[in-house]
Structure 1
Amino acid sequence: METGKRRLFFGIGLESQAVELVSAWLLHSVNTSRPFTAPYNLHLTLAFYGMVTDDDAQALIEYATKLNVTPFSLSFEETAYWQHSGIFYLKPNSPPTALSALAEPLRDYGEKLNIYTNPYPFSPHITLCRGAKKQPEVVNPIMPLVIPVNRFYLYHSHRNENGLIYEPIKTFLLS
């Protein structure tokens, strides 16, 4: 890794109660040979950037501070699976327009800065496991989960002795 560069993305974190609910449900209701996403890493990605210089990170922070999106809620009760990447995930029911109003400008600004161009359209989800060669078996569906969204974070993705860590480095309140 080059000095002055970090792997960054914007995302919506889950409150501890939601993390506990999802983790317990996965443990008791989903069968797969792949490890589940670590509870402390559960989130919904808004905009991924990859390796970002300190200057570009500062520009992203300044831009995100100016966004004006009202708080909203996301409801989850359905899982899905992307076979090409082996990602098993929770997807929100009828995502509100406020979610796109938050994600799309962040994604577009990353492109404007020539940081990252995402090859896929925004598809909101919470990754539950990666690299699954076949779709995990859901024994019992998850109870409907409602996540209030009144903030989002800039995350630093890195590895330490515990493995992959998504560390919030800046918090942004919705207005």
Structure 2
Amino acid sequence: MRLFYAVFLPPEVQKALAEAQKRLDPFKGWKKTPPHQLHLTLLFLGEVPEEEVEGFLALGRRLARAVPPFTARIRGTGYFPAEGSPRVWFAKAEGEGFLRLAEGLRAEAPDPDPKPFAPHITLARKKGPAPRVGPVVLGLEFPVEEFALVQSVLRPKGPEYRILERFPLRGEHERGKAQVSGKHPEGD
């Protein structure tokens, strides 16, 4: 099974990013990510034997208990690679929890990707000759309250995503620390 952990975007953010993707309409060399598939990959696992899936589900559950919900921000767009002919057009994502989730998953996953984690949402991939479009300033924010373990099934028209399990973020360890320090988790 081809698996990855991801944060999916709420419908209003999908809609805003789909509007940004319209800048690519005049250029046939870009293949846009369908709005319902827009996501931020926390860790790509690749091909995983079915008998190992339960371990990855357990890892997601454990990590979700440790990380509290947080606010994500999408400020603008960029390219991979930054110089030369681009292969990917993406939206830059920020949020204190993204790195914590990615590092927590990498710490326990076998053979994690050696490239440093760069939180982003792939808007399009280059499939032929296509120019760079100018930067788009987005200024979007949304709450991140869960992440998921996703199976990617490769089809001729593109990947099909099946969410195997969603992991609600609870941050139980943070609440425990706040209560020990005399502070209430909801504030004073």
Q: Same fold (TM over 0.5)?
A: yes
How much has 1:142 moved relative to structure 2? Answer: 3.8
1:51 aligns with 2:50: no
Query: Residue 162 of structure 2 aligns to which amino acid in structure 1?
Result: E
Contact 2:86 / 2:132 at 8 angstroms: preserved in 1? no
Query: Residue 55 of structure 2 aligns to which amino acid in structure 1?
Result: A
Contact 2:30 / 2:130 at 8 angstroms: preserved in 1? no
CA distance in 2, matches of 1:127, 1:117: 20
How much has 1:106 moved relative to structure 2? Answer: 0.8
CA distance in 2, matches of 1:27, 1:8: 29
How much has 1:19 moved relative to structure 2? Answer: 0.7
Residue 136 of structure 1 is matched in structure 2 by: 132
Structure 2: gaps of 5 or more residues = 171-188
Matches within 5 A, 1:11-90: 11-28=6-23, 32=27, 33-67=29-63, 68-83=66-81, 86-90=87-91
How much has 1:146 moved relative to structure 2? Answer: 0.7
Contact 1:48 / 1:107 at 8 angstroms: preserved in 2? no
CA distance in 2, matches of 1:12, 1:117: 18
Secondary structure at 2:141's aligned position in 1?
strand
Contact 1:31 / 1:137 at 8 angstroms: preserved in 2? no
Contact 2:76 / 2:138 at 8 angstroms: preserved in 1? no
**Match 2:141 to one of 128, 137, 146:** 146
Larger deviation, residues 76-85 vs 36-45: 76-85
Contact 1:31 / 1:136 at 8 angstroms: preserved in 2? no
Normalised TM-score (structure 2)? 0.77
CA distance in 2, matches of 1:106, 1:138: 34
CA distance in 1, matches of 2:168, 2:50: 22
Secondary structure at 2:101's aligned position in 1?
helix
Please identify the structure whose Cα radius of gyration is greater. 2
Cα displacement string for residues 11-66 of structure 1 (whole angstroms, at most 9, x for unaligned residues): 00011111111102211577643121111210000011000112221101111111
CA distance in 2, matches of 1:149, 1:171: 12
Contact 1:7 / 1:49 at 8 angstroms: preserved in 2? yes
Residue 119 of structure 2 is matched in structure 1 by: 124
CA distance in 1, matches of 2:40, 2:62: 21
Structure 1: gaps of 5 or more residues = 1-5
Normalised TM-score (structure 1)? 0.83
1:9 aligns with 2:4: yes
RMSD: 2.2
